[in-house]
Amino acid sequence: MERSLTMELVRVTEAAALSSARWMGRGKKEEADDAATTAMRTVFDTVPMQGTVVIGEGEMDEAPMLYIGEKLGLGYGPEVDIAVDPLEGTNIVAKGTWNALTVLAVADRGNLLHAPDMYMDKLAVGPKAAGKVDIDAPVIDNLKAVAQAYGKDISDLVAILLDRPRHAKLINEIREAGARIKLISDGDVAAAIHTAFDEHTGVDIMFGSGGAPEGVIAAVALKCLGGELQGRLLPQTQEEIDRCKKMGIADLSQVLRMEDLVKGDDAIFAASGVTDGELLRGVRFHGNKAITHSVVMRAKTGTVRFVEGQHRLDRKPHLVFNDR
């Protein structure tokens, strides 16, 4: 992949953030998601690349754009796989709460796991604890390993996970171990990334299950940051089991490690804040101007850039803010 692609891709997440942020707090998550998807699709086609969506809004018959298999880019340049979540946290935007992002991940063709839309059990940590945890180990052992890696007591640790009934046993085990917990309503891509920015976010480890596509996107971010995500697919139906087998995963107990989720030595991750969060600020509107806050990173170089963009809205015809 070309170095210039990193800054081209942040324009894509910025456009999606600008469009979806107009729907913040208005209780219309579908409209917010559609606005992000439309803007992202439009700007993608100005990027010099030959991209194929491998994780997107669904199959061709489910999504009008950014569907799995869709071709993106100008048709020349690097051949890449693309994973997108045009709006990570549609409910967050609808309610106007924290940590909604527009996110994408890119890797050389064939290097991203084509994760089906099903649950995945996940364990994520930042670079200091990478290689020291195991998704099959007891909760207490993983907490001890992270505490040792960070030079902390377990009582100083913060574990983050989705606030779901399915996590009741896991929450009890974390509390019994003495660690603190941050429960979130949505947005486990942001949660996984936060483990690699512990000094800013206060988060040390992520536990629990969430979407498998989001797991791949988060793995790309952690690959760039030197962190680690381990996962295991959790099919709920025979159809999902069959999809795992088509992916070559016959053993459903198989642990997916970083090299399974994102192969090779290079990948790019970009995200822009839609609503305020611990790591990224949300979009600020000032008349015909808006300010975005983004992060873009590349695995090959280890470069992490925080980008503040100032945008003249009257010069961006692809940004549509009208009600429907």
CA distances (Å), 162 to each of 78, 279, 294, 304, in order?
36, 18, 23, 26
**Half-sphere exposure in the Cβ direction for 266 (13 Å, CA):** 15
174 close to 76: Cβ distance less than 8 angstroms: no
The pair phi, psi for residue 237, each rounded to 5°, is -130, 170
Q: Please say if the pLDDT value at position 109 is more than 90.
A: yes
Which pLDDT score, from 0 to 100, does residue 247 have?
78
Give residue 324's pLDDT band: very low, low, confident or very high (50, 70, 90): very low
pLDDT computed for residue 316 by the predictor: 64
End-to-end CA distance of the chain: give it in Å, rounded: 39
The strand pair at 205-211 and 158-162 is best described as parallel
Q: What's the confidence (pLDDT) of residue 322?
A: 45
- Residue 39 CA to residue 22 CA, distance in Å, equals 13
pLDDT digits (tens, 9 = 90+) for 63-81: 889 999 999 999 999 999 9
What local confidence, expressed as pLDDT, does residue 251 receive?
A: 87
Q: What average pLDDT does this structure show over 48-55? A: 96
What tokens does 290 get?
Answer: 């808006």
Q: Where are the beta strands (DSSP E) in the chain?
A: 50-55, 71-72, 79-88, 101-108, 119-125, 158-162, 180-184, 205-211, 228-234, 267-273, 284-286, 289-298, 303-312
- How confident is the model at residue 319, as a pLDDT? 60
Q: Pick one of 3.40.30.10, 3.30.540.10, 3.90.650.10, 2.60.40.10 as the CATH number of 5-110+266-315.
A: 3.30.540.10
Cβ burial of 96 (10 Å; 0-12, 13-18, 19+) is middle
29, pLDDT greater than 90:
yes
Grouping H, G, I as helix, E, B as strand and the rest as coil, residue 14 is: helix
Rounded to whole angstroms, how far apart are CA atoms 313 and 78? Answer: 30
The rounded distance, in Å, linking the Cα atoms of 86 and 95 is 17
pLDDT of residue 318: 56
Mean pLDDT across the stretch 167-196?
98
State mean pLDDT over 10-31. 97
pLDDT surpassing 50 at residue 96: yes
Report d(CA 58, CA 77) in Å as an integer.
Answer: 25
Q: Which CATH architecture has domain 119-261?
A: 3-Layer(aba) Sandwich (3.40)
Instruction: Say what the pTM is.
Output: 0.95
CA distance 37 to 278: 24
Q: Report the pLDDT value the prediction gives residue 314, as an integer from 0 to 100.
A: 81
CA 8 to chain centre: 18
Of the pLDDT bands very low, low, confident and very high (cuts 50, 70, 90), residue 241 is very high
Q: For the chain, what is the mean pLDDT?
A: 94
Token digits for 261?
A: 């989720």
Answer yes or no: is pLDDT of 276 > 70: yes
Cα distance between residue 187 and residue 87, in whole Å: 10
3-state secondary structure of 12: helix
Distance CA 227, CA 219 (A): 8
Mean pLDDT to the nearest integer, 207-217: 97
Domain ranges of the chain: 5-110+266-315, 119-261
